[in-house]
A and B are shown apart, each in its own frame.
Chain A
Amino acid sequence: MKVVAELKKSLIVSVWFMFLTFPIMGIRVNTIEKIVEWRWRNIFIIGIGSFIISFVWRYLLERNRKQAEAKKGSQSWGRLILEEPKFYKPALTAVALFALVFPFIFSSYQTNIMTTALMYVMLGLGLNVVVGLAGLLDLGYVAFYAVGAYSYALINYHFGLGFWTVLPVGALLAAFFGILLGFPVLRLRGDYLAIVTLGFGEIIRLILENWNEFSFGPSGIAHIPRPGLMGIDLTLNESIIYLYYLMILFCLLTIFIINRLQDSRIGRAWIALREDEVACQAMGIDKTKTKLTAFALGATWAGMVGVIFAAKTTFVNPASFTFLESAMILSIVVLGGMGSIVGVFIAALILILSPEYLRAFSNYRMLLFGAVMVLMMVFRPQGIVPKVRRIYKL
């Protein structure tokens, strides 16, 4: 009987989705030539697809529920690799070796993509401080990225300063903007904060787009110099490799700093703030200072990556700093597992590299993106590599 009931449920779901997607998927009108295109095949696919998916969906929900009841004591294989020195040391060495020889095995095109992926790793780690550790949902993170990129572009254009001089300046400017945004929104609760940061991000982009005298508008700024290596003239190929190694260094630095910060006084204060604001204040933690440092530090990282981005592409325009970019960085953090460094690393590589190598699916990229965000939240809210909570044994 159970099988019949399950089949009936799935059949209802399937019919419902066929009904639901009928106008959007099934019909396309061409109002100019006055043609109506009926696409019954799509509806058919939707029907079959939703029929099958509904089984998987219910099965997964059921499994999740059982797991929650069983208080999951089982160790996953991912956890094993991360915690057992016997496993993670060779794995780490292999990854490091691979990273070192990467530009010599693969073409400069591949190296370039890898550099981009590493930039997103850094962005993800930066946002991870704000969202993952401090629990402040920032949907305008890309604004700080834009600040960094434009500060290099503009300072270089007006004063001719180089990459290494502007890198700290860009980072500081972004941090300044982070505090500027942080101050007024301190009192806001989670979801209001999300909207205000989103608004802030859009304001920055719109200003860059419209204030032609300052930012050269939508056409952007071109001919930004690549980073220099002690005055040596690099060919294009060499500078791509140079930038790749530079990014590896930056990533290592970021991981080192964030790893250290996590267990420091301020890091524990962030986590306490995320868990319970009131209790955190009662323990004597200065809420204002804690939130502001999280914002400022996250922004600093975005600013640094912004400078690197401008140097890498040698061109900036406002189109690179849309809300989707923020959403992308956010989904890196969410997918990886909030607060987890390894998770962010893996998620960034998956999200940035997979569209490059799955060109055939490029149309569906954003669609999958959204779907993955929803599915992740429903079935595995802790992320690919969940953050391990420190447990003190007495």
Chain B
Amino acid sequence: MDYFFELLLGGLTRGSIYALIALGYTMVYGIIELINFAHGEIYMIGAFTALIVASILTMAGMTGFSVLLLAAVVAVIYSAAYGFTVEKIAYKPLRQAPRLSPLISAIGMSIFLQNYVLIAQTSDFLPFPSLIPELPFLESYSHIIGPAEFFIVATTALVTIILTLFIKFTKIGKAMRATAQDRNMAMLTGVNVNKVISNTFIIGSALAAVGGVLIASHIGRINFYIGFIAGIKAFTAAVLGGIGSIPGAVLGGLVLGWTESFATGYVSSDYEDVFAFLLLVLILIFRPAGLLGRSPIQKV
């Protein structure tokens, strides 16, 4: 039974990270119907920035939780800046272009950012300092859940709640929902659509950075390639839950996390990524709208 719980929590942790990245995908897709391929790279850049900041602070003699917090804040700022810039360079000039163009541009951006980090930093795995503090109240459950897992799940839950409230009640959130429903109509009612799209990229990228910092301090090492697989899996999660839907992204992330965790735990660990892709293919075939999504009505 312990093994089962271990897998359950492992899946929950994994799924939380997927959910954090998937939120960015789902928001961007909801608004401009674009698979932002470079999103995984934003997450990777977040992790790298955090690594650099955390290393410098640790060398300067700081320790513990404050380092993690500072590193996370810088990473979030930088990821948001990258997300903002990527949108301005690679997607904004292509608003009116045929659908394939921004997608190819996104793939190009993803390859570019990967190699940018590869050249500017290194191709090796870099060790990430372990910064997550020990939590005393978890000690009696330490055989099932560690502080890192707890931290990841709690942060994801918190971030999702804040995001949901933000989208529901703030002015920016309302503008985002309006733009997602009908861009032209939103424009007519005075919503600055370009600004809304920028905001969406900024928020999505910031969430990805949170995911990046958490996973990096959990696994303890990063390289330039982590964004690719994580990005595809997070996209799977977003599709799984119904792309465009925020609770859907979280649900999709968790389902994907559990699928992977149980499949590797009970079937075979060699095929971890195969299960994720297989789930993606099956979902798209049998329920293209996702678990919580509605299939769009095609108007002619």
Contact = CB atoms under 8 A, between A and B. Distances in A.
A29 B81 contact: no
B104 A28 contact: no
B85 A20 contact: yes
Given A369-B111, A374-B89, A23 B53 contact: yes
Interface SS, A side: helix
B264 interface: no
Contacts of B236: 195, 199
A25 B120 contact: yes
Among A17, A27, A324, the most chain B Cβ lie within 10 Å of the Cβ of: A27
A21 B111 CA distance: 17
Nearest to B296: A189
B220 to A, nearest CB: 11
A187 B288 contact: yes
B117 A191 contact: no
B281 A34 contact: no
Contact of A377 (B82, B94, B110): B94
Given A36-B59, A377-B94, A206 B273 contact: yes
Contacts of B89: 374, 378
Interface centre among A206, A370, A371 (most CB of B within 10 A): A370
B205 to A, nearest CB: 12
B121 interface: yes
Contacts of B107: 139, 327, 330, 373
Interface stretch (A152-160, A243-251, A345-353, A359-367): A359-367
B59 A34 contact: yes
A255 interface: no
Q: At the interface, is chain B mostly helix, strand, loop or mixed?
A: helix
Interface in B58-74: 59, 74
B111 A370 contact: yes
Given A24-B48, A24-B120, A327-B107, A16 B100 contact: no
B105 A196 contact: no
A185 B119 contact: no
A116 B45 CA distance: 34
A27 B52 contact: yes
A49 interface: no
A27 B56 contact: yes
Contacts of B85: 16-17, 20
A118 to B, nearest CB: 24
A363 B119 contact: yes
Given A195-B280, A200-B277, A366-B115, A373 B52 contact: no
A325 interface: no
B115 to A, nearest CB: 4
Contacts of B35: 191, 194-195
A196 B59 CA distance: 45
Nearest to B268: A210
Contact of A367 (B119, B277, B281): B119
Contact of A374 (B45, B97, B109, B277): B109
A213 to B, nearest CB: 12
B105 A373 contact: yes
Given A29-B52, A378-B93, A370 B108 contact: yes
Contact of B97 (A32, A194, A377): A377
Given A196-B284, A378-B93, A23 B108 contact: no
Interface of A: 16-17, 19-21, 23-25, 27-29, 31-32, 34, 36, 42, 61, 131, 135, 137, 139, 184-185, 187-188, 190-192, 194-196, 198-200, 202-203, 206-207, 210, 278, 323-324, 327, 330-331, 334, 363-364, 366-367, 369-374, 376-378, 381
Interface of B: 33-35, 45, 48-49, 51-53, 55-56, 59, 74, 78, 81-82, 85, 89-90, 93-94, 97-105, 107-122, 126-127, 129, 228, 232, 235-236, 239, 270-271, 273-274, 277-278, 280-281, 284-285, 288, 298, 300
What 3 A-B pairs have minimum CB-CB distances, sorted nearest first?
A373-B108, A370-B112, A370-B111
28 contacts: A20-B81, A20-B82, A23-B52, A23-B74, A23-B78, A25-B120, A28-B120, A29-B52, A34-B59, A135-B100, A190-B103, A195-B235, A203-B277, A203-B278, A206-B273, A364-B119, A366-B114, A367-B111, A367-B115, A367-B116, A370-B108, A370-B111, A371-B112, A377-B101, A377-B102, A377-B105, A377-B108, A381-B97
